[in-house]
Structure formats: structure tokens, C-alpha cells
Copies of this chain bind each other. A is one copy, B any other.
């Protein structure tokens, strides 16, 4: 079991403290699981109180025993209720904070009111943009985990070549690939930060159903098994000569890489084959633009422009009227991390250490979807690919 090292945790909270100083925050109180895991090494229920300087205090409700096993932070303190927080913080010599950061993008209103009542004179601000900026720049430790997750992604890819055949249903494929991933350490749960961010951890979609739009903020949707969760693999069966897309978030030790590949039983139409080749080249074109200092939108716009030039204005990143305004997204602990390779981020720049998926995809209503997805990071030596499965179209 991989435990986040002490120096890694220190490196992380010190970077947050730098951001806090710039933003004039006296304290950030971290409550959400993904952020807790990043800053503590575990997700035991509790509050991580990060002062602008000095050592963070991890107040743990459940389970303190597990927190001691799993967190390398210096100050672990058992507690039973947020009511104890101000007293404990004061006991560690901290003045009552007057500007407090909370994760206002994910914190429910009722819980927020509870924390406001603890510090009635403080001003509360959204600390999530700070936290997300810190988390977007991965350490070498994190890159190594992501590299290991890419090995899992390749095993899923290889198994796909063995199990895709005419007549098999999407859910039969998904269930088998999920089994393979779980045996390789997949946690079985995908973390998405956005509200209502319920997302299947794989979209295994065949033929026309891949073109069905869904509530999820993804270029492809799929019918799913029920309108209660209408996305991802459904009961639809693989036919000859139609694309089967296996889009899979592989998770290892808390980190995910995102990879998609296209398979077909029998030959694809020229249009589908051409579309696939075009998306491969489009991904290359975007990679070439993804240097240090490039704005997130500039990489996005380059992809859009090329897709339009190739005549895919109505097919690119979803069916017409359901197109998503992004071609890529940061990954790490959550699937919607910074950077967003999307419209509207002309001021945000790519930095060394950022990890992101690029997923140019085409949807042809009534026929199916083709495209490619890989996960990359910007190293000091330029862009490197994390996912490494063959990009060839797989004809079975």
C-alpha cells in the first residue's frame, strides 16, 4: 500500500500557504475527500486546518486509528465535532483567523453555515481555485503513480482486443474490463468535482449508441442501463463494421489516467477511418501547441480550428447542439482538474508539471463515434505521453 511521504505532504501544504499569502487568507479549512487525500495522504473524516504559516492541524473524527496509519502529517488530533475546532486551533497558538478559505464549489450550504457560526466575525472566501492551482502541478512522486496507472490502462486495452466480438453487449464488455482494472488496483470509484459529477468510470460504446448525448459533460454519452444513470455502457450489442470506443479512466493509488481507443469487428467505412486518422493528427497538432506558457484556450482553439478546416464543424466533440466546449481536461485525483483545455481560459497558462488528457472525438449520428484520448504531462523537457497503448485502429 503506497503511503504519501512526509516530505511530499510538506511540499504540498507549503505551496498552498504561498497561494494563501498572496490571497491574504489566514487559514484554509479543507473538508472534501479529494483535497483531504492530497494534503493528508488519507480521507479520514475530519477537518484539515491549514494556517498561513506553520504546521497544518488534521482534526480527525473517524477513524483516528486509520489516520495514524495512513497520514504522515505531524499533527493529528482526535475530535468529535467542528464545535471543538476554534478551541483546538487556539490551543496551538493560532489567533482566530479573520479571512478563512473554504471549498465553496463543493461545500453544501448547511455545512457552510456550521463553519460560519464557528467564526462569526470572519470573512469566508472560496479557496478552491487556490487548491486546484496547487494540485494541478504534479510532483515527480505523482507522475510516477500516473505512469503506473498507465500500465493498468494498457492491460484494459489489451483485454479489449480479446473480448470485443460481434454480438457482445456494451455492458458485457464494460463488466469484463472493470474486472480486469479492479484486479490491477482500480478503486472502483471515479472522482469528479463538479456538482452532480456522477460519472461512470468507463464509457464502452458501440455503433450509433455512442452518438447519444447524455447529461454528463462529455463528448460521448451512451445510453447506460437506465434513465436513472443514463450514460456509459448499455445493453446495445456490437455489430459488424461499426466503431467500438473504449474510453476508460484507470485509477491506481488514488490517481487516474484517461485513455480511449477505437476497435471494430470487420472494416469501418472510409468516413469513419478517415475521421479516426484525422483525430490522431489533430491530437498531434494540439500537442505541438502545448508548450510552457501556452494558454489553455489557445490549445483548444487550435484543435477547433483544425476540426472546422477538416469539415467536422457538426461532428466535433459531440453531436450538433450537444457539443462540449472543451477538448481536454486536467486529471489526477479527480477527472476535472486544472488545466481545462477549453473555451474561456485565455489568461490561464500551461505550467511544467501539469497533467491533462486530450480527447479529440467525432460523432456521426446514426453511425457512431471515433476518436482518441491520451494523458500527457508537461515535463521540463516538453510534453510527454503517459498512456502508451498503440494508437492504431484495431480491426478484429
Q: Are B227 and A41 in contact (CB under 8 A)?
A: yes
Q: Which of A172-180, A279-287, A344-352, A388-396 contacts B (4 or more CB under 8 A)?
A: A172-180
Interface 1/0 per residue, A215-245 and B, CB below 8 Å: 1010001011111111010000000000000
* Residue from the list B4, B174, B186 in contact with A182, Cβ < 8 A: B174
* Residue from the list B214, B228, B252 in contact with A63, Cβ < 8 A: B214
Interface 1/0 per residue, A34-76 and B, CB below 8 Å: 0001000111110000000000000000110110001000000
Closest residue of chain B to A65 (Cβ to Cβ) is: B213
Interface 1/0 per residue, A167-206 and B, CB below 8 Å: 0000110111011001101111101000110101100000
Closest residue of chain B to A234 (Cβ to Cβ) is: B1
Q: Are B187 and A32 in contact (CB under 8 A)?
A: no
Instruction: Please report the C-alpha to C-alpha distance between residue A269 and residue B171 in the assembled complex, in whole angstroms.
Output: 41
Tell me, yes or no, whether A212 is within 8 Å of chain B by CB: yes
Closest residue of chain B to A212 (Cβ to Cβ) is: B66
Q: How far is the CB of A215 from chain B (nearest CB, A)?
A: 5
* Residue from the list B102, B107, B227 in contact with A70, Cβ < 8 A: B227
Instruction: Please report the C-alpha to C-alpha distance between residue A62 and residue B1 in the assembled complex, in whole angstroms.
Output: 40
Q: Which residues of B contact A212 (CB under 8 A)?
A: 66
Q: Are B2 and A226 in contact (CB under 8 A)?
A: yes
Chain A contact residues, majority secondary structure: loop
Instruction: Say which size band chain A's interface belongs to.
Output: 35 or more
Q: Which residues of B contact A189 (CB under 8 A)?
A: 198, 200, 229
Instruction: Please report the C-alpha to C-alpha distance between residue A70 and residue B3 in the assembled complex, in whole angstroms.
Output: 45
* Residue from the list B126, B225, B253, B255 in contact with A187, Cβ < 8 A: B225
Among A62, A109, A253, which residue has the most Cβ atoms of chain B within 10 A? A109
* Residue from the list B43, B172, B188, B223 in contact with A183, Cβ < 8 A: B172
Q: Are A175 and B172 in contact (CB under 8 A)?
A: no
Q: Which residues of B contact A221 (CB under 8 A)?
A: 63, 66
Q: Which residues of B contact A333 (CB under 8 A)?
A: 228
* Residue from the list B111, B187, B200, B322 in contact with A188, Cβ < 8 A: B200
Tell me, yes or no, whether A33 is within 8 Å of chain B by CB: yes
Q: How far is the CB of A150 from chain B (nearest CB, A)?
A: 16
Q: Are B187 and A229 in contact (CB under 8 A)?
A: yes
* Residue from the list B65, B110, B183, B198 in contact with A175, Cβ < 8 A: B183
Q: Are A187 and B228 in contact (CB under 8 A)?
A: yes
Q: How far is the CB of A8 from chain B (nearest CB, A)?
A: 13
Q: Are B188 and A43 in contact (CB under 8 A)?
A: no
Q: Which residues of B contact A45 (CB under 8 A)?
A: 196, 215, 217
Instruction: Please report the C-alpha to C-alpha distance between residue A174 and residue B183 in the assembled complex, in whole angstroms.
Output: 9
Q: Which residues of B contact A172 (CB under 8 A)?
A: 183
Say yes or no: A230-B66 contact (C-beta < 8 A), given A171-B182, A200-B189.
Answer: yes
Tell me, yes or no, whether A104 is within 8 Å of chain B by CB: yes
Tell me, yes or no, whether A11 is within 8 Å of chain B by CB: no
Q: Are B227 and A1 in contact (CB under 8 A)?
A: yes
* Residue from the list B65, B126, B254 in contact with A226, Cβ < 8 A: B254
Tell me, yes or no, whether A108 is within 8 Å of chain B by CB: yes
Interface 1/0 per residue, A8-23 and B, CB below 8 Å: 0000000000000000
Instruction: Please report the C-alpha to C-alpha distance between residue A65 and residue B224 in the assembled complex, in whole angstroms.
Output: 15
A-B contact pairs, 15 of them (CB 8 A): A1-B223, A42-B230, A63-B221, A66-B213, A70-B227, A104-B108, A108-B108, A108-B109, A108-B195, A174-B182, A179-B179, A187-B225, A187-B226, A188-B229, A189-B198
The 4 closest A-B pairs by CB, nearest first: A228-B254, A63-B213, A175-B182, A187-B229
